């Protein structure tokens, strides 16, 4: 059995981590699903180190082969006031099956335990390697999602909704957005919303839905548009009808560009119907899992892999 040094990522590891992410996902998907993953190049894979080094510096743990110095695996994590999220976990294909991810996970479980917080993640229900890793560690599935690919036509989708105004979020909306998400699913991601709305990378979109009667923000929906990740989410919305309008507004940012995915909760039947009516195609299924207590969800909660939430 090989020995691995488990340590925090340094900036000089970044090219190695990007390669790890690209190789690991592509090899796994080619072998198990018969197609390439959504990370087509090293440049695309670098979105993870670029964004996460800015958002959560010193929150990536790597496994280094003690003999050769080669990077064998990496995993990001995102500490927040209410919880810790576990981000993209990857192991180099030549190290698959050698408990590298088990060691990386143990490090992050320890981070969450020291903070006395729940550890949350979204894992593929079709990737038995990753599902087994988390279920062996005691994670419990809390919600199920279908990953739906939606090709957005040149003219976009009609995102209007009676009784509501949809618009881009501003920094002044952050407090209301955070209060809404806390009420619906008990997580505080003030930092993320500030980061998305500031949009220094030019890859984020954030829409809010304002209830015309009450003037309150009833929903938020974000998106990321980058060669390394194209998806709608995270989102927290009171009703399925409102969620559909917000998702369509974020999808409209992709007109004539890449085809994004959106993780639609399997128990949101009306919302699912709306997304399939747009031509959405199921491509995978994911489960939101947590290690530790997880508040009951209300409304519609849309997760994302960037940065991963559950």
Ligand X SMILES: CC(C)(COP(=O)(O)OP(=O)(O)OC[C@H]1O[C@@H](n2cnc3c(N)ncnc32)[C@H](O)[C@@H]1OP(=O)(O)O)[C@@H](O)C(=O)NCCC(=O)NCCS
Residues lying near ligand X in the complex (CB under 6 A): 24-25, 28, 88-91, 96-102, 124, 127-130, 132-133, 136
91/177 with CB nearer ligand X: 91
Residue position matching structure tokens 């209300």: 298
Owner of token pair 């590298």 = 100
Q: How far is CA 7 from the centre of its chain?
A: 23
Element (H, E) at 184: helix 174-185
Provide the minimum distance between the beta carbon of 168 and ligand X in the complex, in angstroms, as a whole number: 30
* Least distance (Å) between residue 241 CB and ligand X: 32
Q: Give me the least distance between CB of 221 and ligand X, in Å please.
A: 22
Closest Cα partner for 127 from 273, 297, 284?
284
Q: What's the CA gap between 64 and 253, in Å, rounded?
A: 40
- 299 is written with which tokens? 């409304």
Q: Which is nearer to ligand X, 126 or 176 (CB)?
A: 126
- Residue with Cβ nearer ligand X (25 or 209): 25
CB of 37 to ligand X, least distance (A): 8
User: Cβ of 19: how many Cβ atoms within 10 Å?
Assistant: 16
Q: Which is nearer to ligand X, 96 or 107 (CB)?
A: 96
* Residues 261/148, Cβ–Cβ less than 8 Å: yes
Output DSSP code: residue 11: G
Nearer to ligand X, 129 or 201 (CB): 129
How far apart are CB 303 and ligand X at their closest, in Å? 13
């Amino acid at each position: 059995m090989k020995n691995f040094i488990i340590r925090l990522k340094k900036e000089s590891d970044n090219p190695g981590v990007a390669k790890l992410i690209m190789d690991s996902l592509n090899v796994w998907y080619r072998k198990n699903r018969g197609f390439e993953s959504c990370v087509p190049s090293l440049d695309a894979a670098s979105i993870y180190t670029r964004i996460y080094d800015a958002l959560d510096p010193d929150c990536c743990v790597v496994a280094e082969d003690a003999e050769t110095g080669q990077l064998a695996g990496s995993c990001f994590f995102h500490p927040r006031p209410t919880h810790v999220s576990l981000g993209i976990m990857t192991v180099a294909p030549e190290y698959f099956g050698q408990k590298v991810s088990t060691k990386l996970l143990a490090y992050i479980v320890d981070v969450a335990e020291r903070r006395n917080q729940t550890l949350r993640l979204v894992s593929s229900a079709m990737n038995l390697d990753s599902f087994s890793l988390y279920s062996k560690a005691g994670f419990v599935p809390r919600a199920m999602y279908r990953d739906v690919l939606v090709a957005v036509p040149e003219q976009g989708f009609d995102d209007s909704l009676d009784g509501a105004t949809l618009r881009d979020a501003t920094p002044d909306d952050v407090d209301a957005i955070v209060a809404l998400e806390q009420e619906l699913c008990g997580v505080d991601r003030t930092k993320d919303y500030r980061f998305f709305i500031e949009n220094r990378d030019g890859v984020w979109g954030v829409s809010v839905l304002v209830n015309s009667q009450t003037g309150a923000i009833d929903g938020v929906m974000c998106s990321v548009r980058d060669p390394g990740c194209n998806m709608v989410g995270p989102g927290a919305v009171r009703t399925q009808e409102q969620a559909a309008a917000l998702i369509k507004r974020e999808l409209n940012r992709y007109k004539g560009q890449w085809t994004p995915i959106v993780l639609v909760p399997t128990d949101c039947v009306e919302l699912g119907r709306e997304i399939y009516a747009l031509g959405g195609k199921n491509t995978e299924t994911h489960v939101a899992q947590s290690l530790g207590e997880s508040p009951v969800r209300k409304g519609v909660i849309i997760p994302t892999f960037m940065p991963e939430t559950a």
